Structure 1
Amino acid sequence: MKLNIVPARTGLLWVKLGIKTFVRQPIALSGLFLMFMAVISMCTVLPVIGSVIALMLIPGATLGMMAASHEASRGRFPMPTILVTAFRAGREQLQAMLVLGALYAGGFVGLLGLTAVLDGGQFAKLYLLGGRVSAELLNDDGFLGAMWVFTLGYLPLSLLFWHAPALVHWDRLSPVKSLFFSLVACWRNKGAFTVFGLAWMGVLTAGLLVASLIGGLIGPVIGSGLVMGSMLVLLAMFFSSLVFTFRDCFAAPLSPEAPADDTPPSA
């Protein structure tokens, strides 16, 4: 494993590659992302513990989407089983991914606990138990403060886990080491990741704006479905771009003998 430092403009390339890869296999990647979201949603049906289980599955499911995107970029059709790539790579790898998932859930819940200091747990309760955001909550300074603390605190948490699933799976690093190297890679390539984030914000905003305008012309029922469908496609495109951030930030040897979904992307 070797850390690469890439120019800021690479962030825009990652966005383009993600979109291009999605276009190659739109049905497969959209379907896999829908399965990803469905599993997470099903877990959250269980009170409190369901949300924790869902959080634990996110790193492994993200790795599955990265593996699927890698397959699509090589001109192959990603099968549904690729979504559980992280959990069928052997007992040792399974344990490492579960530990990584537990660390992610712990960090996320800890961040929610921090917000409870500001609003008495309203924001955390809304996330863990569900519900609707009322006008009263939006006018509550404590709730708004908790929301901002969560938003700002989630950034370093996401950077810690950005490359971690891929490093655990493809580079066989321990969960703790993967978190360290993920954070270092994101920091050393902060220019590229800043461009990447801003570009995706622009793509998501523009895509949803166009869908909303078209939806307003064809009626509320079909229009809402169009907006939801557009959100699904745009998020699937985003997840399709993640593997390229890993590929370019880390140089890893490509083993031609290894199975396609268990092979690190070439640098």
Structure 2
Amino acid sequence: MKLQIVPARTGALWVRLGIQTFFQQPLALAGLFFMCMAALSIVSLVPILGSIAAMVFLPTMALALMAATQEASKGKFPTPNIVLGALRAGQQGMRPMLVLGALYAAGFLVVLGISALVDGGEFARVFLGNRGAEDTGDEPLRLQAGMLAFMVLHLPLSLAFWHAPALVHWHGISPGKSLFFSLVACWRNKGAYVLFGLSWFGVLLVVGMVVQLLAALLDQPAFLGVGAFVVTLLTTCMFLTSIYFSFRDSFSADDAEVKAPDAIE
């Protein structure tokens, strides 16, 4: 496995490829995304351990969408069977993915716990659904401080897991090393990832303005809420689709490396 350094402009290319690939197979990719979200939602309904179990399976969900994107980029229809087959065909099987998920859940809980030290647990209670944001009393600044602390601390956690599922699955890297290599790849290609983030921010702004304009033209305020929800979900799916291309361009297999049947070509 080799790290590749890409120009900063590649970040915008990843966004374009993600959107284009999504519209090549919109029903398949959106259906898979909603299926994964529904499965995680059902798991999270289990008292106490449900939310933790859902976090454990988040890296697997991300890998499933990356595998589906790989199929779609080849002009194939990514059915759930293809995705499940790709997950089973990993170089080390499912166990390392579960370890990776457990590490993510632990890291997430640590980040949430640190944010609770900042705001007395206000943001954690809102995030876990124990109270609404409007019920924070006369101290909204504490909630904002906790939210800011969570966002700042969650960023390095997200970058560590950005490429980790794909590295474990396609390159056979151990979970611990995959987190390190993912962070290194994001840092070495920081220009591309900054432009990637800014490009998606621009896409969200444009999409939000279009939804607001349509709601005004149709004189249907309710459309704004429903439209924003649907568009947010579809945009999230496109975002996750674009992550595959960031991985594809950031790493390449060694000539001597044995690939899985569905490895990147």
How do residues 53-132 of structure 1 correspond to structure 2 at under 5 angstroms?
Answer: 53-84=53-84, 87-89=87-89, 92-132=92-132
Q: Deviations over 1:185-219 (max 9, x none)?
A: 00000000000010011101211221122123331
The answer on whether the counterparts of 1:48 and 1:128 sit within 8 Å (CA) in structure 2 is no
The range that moved more, 104-113 or 226-235, is 226-235
Counterpart-to-counterpart distance in 1, 2:16 and 2:167? 23
The answer on whether the counterparts of 1:93 and 1:168 sit within 8 Å (CA) in structure 2 is no
How do residues 136-151 of structure 1 correspond to structure 2 at under 5 angstroms?
Answer: 136=136, 139-151=139-151
Q: Against the structure 1 CA distance between its residues 45 and 137, is the aligned structure 2 distance closer, same or farther, given a 3 Å change threshold?
A: farther
Q: CA deviation at 1:44?
A: 2.2
Matched, 1:2 2:2: yes
Counterpart residue number, 2:25: 25
The answer on whether the counterparts of 2:162 and 2:182 sit within 8 Å (CA) in structure 1 is yes
Counterpart residue number, 1:212: 212
Q: CA deviation at 1:231?
A: 1.4
Q: Deviations over 1:165-200 (max 9, x none)?
A: 000000001000100100000000000000001001
Counterpart residue number, 1:38: 38
Matched, 1:252 2:253: yes
The range that moved more, 192-201 or 225-234, is 225-234
Q: Against the structure 1 CA distance between its residues 226 and 143, is the aligned structure 2 distance closer, same or farther, given a 3 Å change threshold?
A: closer
Note the aligned Cα RMSD (angstroms). Answer: 2.3
State the SS of the aligned residue for 1:76. coil
Counterpart-to-counterpart distance in 1, 2:29 and 2:177? 30
Q: Structure 2: which 5+ runs fail to align?
A: none
The answer on whether the counterparts of 1:86 and 1:93 sit within 8 Å (CA) in structure 2 is no
Counterpart residue number, 2:13: 13
Counterpart-to-counterpart distance in 2, 1:83 and 1:124? 34
Q: CA deviation at 1:85?
A: 5.2
Q: CA deviation at 1:51?
A: 1.3
Counterpart residue number, 1:229: 230
- Give the partner amino acid of 2:173: L
**Scaled by the length of structure 2, what TM-score is found?**
0.91
Q: Against the structure 1 CA distance between its residues 39 and 158, is the aligned structure 2 distance closer, same or farther, given a 3 Å change threshold?
A: same
The answer on whether the counterparts of 2:64 and 2:87 sit within 8 Å (CA) in structure 1 is no
Q: Structure 1: which 5+ runs fail to align?
A: none
- Give the partner amino acid of 1:227: A
Counterpart residue number, 1:191: 191
Counterpart-to-counterpart distance in 1, 2:48 and 2:85? 27
Q: Percent of aligned pairs with the same residue?
A: 48
Counterpart-to-counterpart distance in 1, 2:138 and 2:207? 26
The answer on whether the counterparts of 2:136 and 2:143 sit within 8 Å (CA) in structure 1 is no
Q: CA deviation at 1:137?
A: 5.3
Q: Against the structure 1 CA distance between its residues 65 and 136, is the aligned structure 2 distance closer, same or farther, given a 3 Å change threshold?
A: same
The answer on whether the counterparts of 1:48 and 1:129 sit within 8 Å (CA) in structure 2 is no
Counterpart-to-counterpart distance in 2, 1:123 and 1:83? 35
State the SS of the aligned residue for 1:134. helix
